[in-house]
Structure 1
Amino acid sequence: MEIEIKIRLPTEEDTARLERALGGSPISSEDQDNVFFEGFHKELIKNKLVFRIRIIEKSGKDPVAVVALKGNAVLVDGIAKVEEEEEEIDCKVAKQIIDNPNLILEVAKSHRLLKKIVERVPCKDGYTHMGRFKNVRHKYQWQEYVVEVDRTEYPHGMAYEVEIESTDPENAKARL
């Protein structure tokens, strides 16, 4: 179970102000390409599941790809709780799947989480893209927390968000 505080920030200026308050220099930065998949008959959404492949690029490092399955998400007063499983996948294979979602069934034969996804919710007519967005994530150390500040680029505009994972989100939120 992933538990995190999620707070939307209204503008780039508010985001920059928060980052200055967090010390100005992130401990790490990531460029993320997030691609979401769905069955042709909306099988995943009908089961309240989200299936994503994320390509993560960090300066000076080889890209990493991660398959994620999320379900039963609940967001109340800025605190999100979601069942989540993640597993790395070869970056070249991930990019091939992004280019051709029909490869999911073939790759699932040798990838544990993809196999779980296709067995849990069979999509008899295959998979398609559901959506895509890119974001830049800056991570800051603040007290005992890692604070993630995202600038997300959607086709319709930008969004700004802060996330903090915590086993005690109410306390973390109050301190923030």
Structure 2
Amino acid sequence: MEVEVKLRLANSTAHQSLSSVLSPFLRQTHFQHNIFFDGAVSELTSHRAVLRLRFYGEDPQTAERCVLSLKAKAVLVDGVSRVEEDEEDMDPFVGREIWANPNLIGSIESRILRRVRDEFEVKEESGYVCLGGFKNVRGVYEWKELELELDETLFDFGTLYEIECESAEPDKAKEMIEELLKENGILYSCSKMSKFAIFRSGELPLF
């Protein structure tokens, strides 16, 4: 179970302000390309499951790292997300092959893809589809005892700004982050939808 604090920042100004405040604590910046897949008749999403390939690098065609993940039964309440998550690294070449031909999901050897085949029973005759995806620029910061992830997510229909923090004590982490935001006059609200849900909706939710 992945448990994360997710707070939405009001706009690019809020994102830039927080980035400046946290700049002494920056450890790395990731350029992520997120690509999603489903069965042709929504076998995964109908069971609240999400299959994602994430390529790390400015260009997914030359990315040197690719991570495959399966998420299920996500719940997001008061800015705290809880979701069942399984991840494994995948050869980026294989990831790009799946992106080009999603039906390879039915035959490639992978612990997660075996789970997809066994648990969701996508029919061979209907196969798999690529749902598309979005780009994310993530700054990773080590602040106090927390690892903060500051996201700028670029959808075709707009840009979302968020701060996330995975924690075994989400209420404590949320309180610390909210105090930081308030002290610096940074406008925020509790995130109400996952990035995938926003992507599927085709529009940014109201702030």
Q: TM-score, normalized by length of structure 1?
A: 0.93
Shift of 1:24: 4.9
In structure 2, how many angstroms separate the alpha carbons of the residues matched to 1:148 and 1:142? Answer: 10
| 1:132 aligned counterpart, secondary structure | strand
Amino acid at match of 1:8: R
Deviation string, structure 1 residues 80-136 (Cα, Å, up to 9, x no partner): 0000000011000001101110111121xx211111111110111111012300111
| 1:117 aligned counterpart, secondary structure | helix
Of residues 150-159 and 21-30 in structure 1, the stretch that sits farther from structure 2 once superposed is: 21-30
Q: Within 5 Å, give how 1:50-89 maps onto structure 2.
A: 50-57=50-57, 63-89=64-90
In structure 2, how many angstroms separate the alpha carbons of the residues matched to 1:118 and 1:16? Answer: 43
In structure 2, how many angstroms separate the alpha carbons of the residues matched to 1:30 and 1:63? Answer: 12
Q: Tell me the equivalent position of 1:2.
A: 2
Deviation string, structure 1 residues 46-73 (Cα, Å, up to 9, x no partner): 1111110101128xxx621111000111
| 2:23 aligned counterpart, secondary structure | coil
Q: Tell me the equivalent position of 1:113.
A: 112
For structure 1, the 5+ residue unaligned runs are none
Pairs aligned (count) = 172
Q: Tell me the equivalent position of 1:127.
A: 128
Q: Tell me the equivalent position of 1:30.
A: 30
Amino acid at match of 1:92: F
| 1:118 aligned counterpart, secondary structure | helix
In structure 1, how many angstroms separate the alpha carbons of the residues matched to 2:64 and 2:10? Answer: 30
Q: TM-score, normalized by length of structure 2?
A: 0.80
Give the alignment's Cα RMSD to 1 decimal: 1.5
In structure 1, how many angstroms separate the alpha carbons of the residues matched to 2:83 and 2:7? Answer: 16
Amino acid at match of 1:4: E
| 1:167 aligned counterpart, secondary structure | coil
CA shift in 2, pair 1:51/1:29, >3 Å: same
Shift of 1:23: 2.8
Instruction: Give the strand-richer structure, 1 or 2.
Output: 1
Q: Tell me the equivalent position of 1:168.
A: 169
